[in-house]
Structure 1
Amino acid sequence: MIQWEQTMEIKILRRQGKSLRRIAHEVGMAVNTVRKYLQHEGRPFYKKRKTVETKLDPYKPYLQERVKQARPFCLPATVLLREIRDQGYRGGVTQLRLYLNSLTPVVCEEVVRFETEPGAQMQMDWIEFRKGKNPLSAFVATLGYSRVSYVCFVENEKLSTLLQCHEDAFDYFGGIPSQALYDNMKTVILARDAYGLGKHRFNSGML
């Protein structure tokens, strides 16, 4: 944006009979810029920017609903990133974090770590490192009481692989917990809210 003094200078030079090219040279602007300011009586002239759709836009309704359901707690961006990537999102986490910040203007309460009794619960999830011809993932199982973890690297996230990882984890820990908690694993949960809010469609092989 040019200053009011520059606008007046352009108008005065024009009244003195100077050409647009000469005015542009004296004020250090492009000829077209000088012409536009003269046509619009010195008021700034801007073209409306075209709205460019981002990679995240198709997933914003889903994110809004997930954030709304979680309040007053905050869902980690990494968890939501995994969920929308399962739906086809190919963008980065930075864009996601910026959008989530715009949805949570107030300070959220910290998520309190859930303590369990010994042998009561084991939490499991996939960590994806690489896709393509040579995929690489890790199965991670963590005991709720001691926070001891078992990690196994695998080439796929199929149900048969998941079941084998369960058995290996049980052998490693020396027992079977009373409860298994899955962090939205796509091998376990085939479709979120398939039968209504909070009623997911599970892989029948896990039932």
Structure 2
Amino acid sequence: MAQETGFSVNTVRKYLVCEGRPRYQGRPRGMKKLAHYMAYLRERVEQARPIRLPAPVILREIQVKGYKGGISQLRSYISTLKPTVAVETLIRFETPPGQQMQVDWIEFRKGKNFLAAFVATLGYSRASYVHFVTNERLETLIECHEQAFVYFGGVPKQVLYDNMKTVILERDVYGPGCHRFNGGMLDFARHYGFQLKVCRPYRAKTKGKVERFNGYLRYSFYNPLVTRLKMAGLLLDKDTANQEVLKWLREIANQRVHGTTKAIPAECLIEEKKYLYPLPLPYQGTIIRAVPQESPNPLWSQEVLQHPLSVYQQLLEA
């Protein structure tokens, strides 16, 4: 029978012993390397609810504690602890190096302890810059732009925004596509030599590159950081956030292989810098909140810490 069927003698013997063809079940995946950290993972995920913590973030945390395994079994385990979150697919238009920077505000806390972040992403390299703030005033927006230009090493040809009032006051005032911009922001753009560009109303996802990074910032940086501080009874402040986010940008965000470009943003930035305008002298203009645009030219279309900083630093380095 073995010769006729091509099966081994032992397999034929099993056919004869049991009814029907034997079914082979896959070997259960071992989680011996992860077993020591399961209690921590359950507590970590439970403490963070309803915030979702990505597997790469948790992997870095338990690697510090001595975990030697990979991410696959970690993903399998934490998938049993939290629901799967669907990710919306966006269509993005690529721009040449030095052409565009996309800018956005992302709010994390409202009210008395308001905390937000200025986020800027270069369209070609996908290199990003983040600065946490306690207000979204025009002078703050301008200061964040200056810091971003220094961080990237130059100025892009245009900057894309949604319809924030610190940038645009009225649309199509001087004709289609010729808008009335905030006077202070317009003066700042003229000084640095870049073009103000805004998304169509209710189409903020036109700036999908920075929108996608906003989600990455929230889930891979802010949520892990704020939940770790919460476990120690601390509230994340602006200074601690800015100190930690620069380290995160340098070591993780701009060093990862980008999901769309399949390249490392920091390496692509080296090439994109060649196409950025050089930095001018520091901006000395007066901030004007509501001055109409003079020409329809479309080209110009301190927080107190809850605790000493050393307390936060000791916790984050633990």
- Under TM normalisation by the shorter chain, which class is it? 0.3 to 0.5
Structure number with the higher strand fraction is 1
Of Structure 1 and Structure 2, the greater helix share is in: 2
TM-score by length of 1: 0.44
**Max Rg structure:** 1
